[in-house]
Amino acid sequence: MKRRNFIGAVAGTTVVAGLGNATRAGESATSNPPVMELRVALTTQDFERLASFYRAGLGMEPSQVWPADQGRALVLDMGRATLEVFDEKQAQTVDQTEVGKRVSGQIRFALRVADLDAAMKRLAAHGATVVHGPVVAPWGDKMARYQDPDGMQITVYQARDKA
């Protein structure tokens, strides 16, 4: 089974993503793509807490900090992005693999990391709640599930070595 990327969230969190026209399988990635970038916007009542969690918990520096005159915002460059659309049965399969039961909301993040053990320590040190400790998926990736301070579920995973 090939590696899958997972995305997820909870009530009270605003998620914004743009979708263009669907592309056909096999269409060149260099042709005029309908979507150039995926951005996810998390809205929180406690900006400092959540911004600090994502900066320090993921070990990232902001790529942009927007002026506070219309509200506070920071942008973290999360690398390559994909959007997966699951039916309920697929969501159940993913949760069963990662956690052992259906627990996630409508949206869930999945973040590929170079060192899962280091990422887990960093997340725990910055306020993440463990949903489920590390497991090895049938396709070979090692992963763990956390929850951010606002309740967003996050799967952190280290891809299987292809050696």
Find tokens 């992963």 and name the residue: 143
129-151 mean pLDDT: 96
Percent of the chain with pLDDT strictly greater than 90: 65
- What is the distance between the alpha carbons of residues 40 and 50, in angstroms, rounded to a whole number? 14
54 has a pLDDT exceeding 90: yes
| Exposed e or buried b per residue across 119-129, where buried means at least 16 C-beta atoms within 10 angstroms of its C-beta | bbebbeebbbe
Which of 148, 113, 108, 107 lies closest to 134 in space, CA to CA?
Answer: 113
46 has a pLDDT exceeding 90: yes
Q: What is the pLDDT of residue 28?
A: 52
- What is the distance between the alpha carbons of residues 119 and 108, in angstroms, rounded to a whole number? 17
55 has a pLDDT exceeding 80: yes
3 has a pLDDT exceeding 50: no
Which of 122, 146, 127, 134 lies closest to 58 in space, CA to CA?
Answer: 122
Query: pTM to 2 decimals?
Result: 0.75
- What is the distance between the alpha carbons of residues 29 and 69, in angstroms, rounded to a whole number? 39
Query: For the chain, what is the mean pLDDT?
Result: 83
Q: What is the pLDDT of residue 163?
A: 59
58-70 mean pLDDT: 89
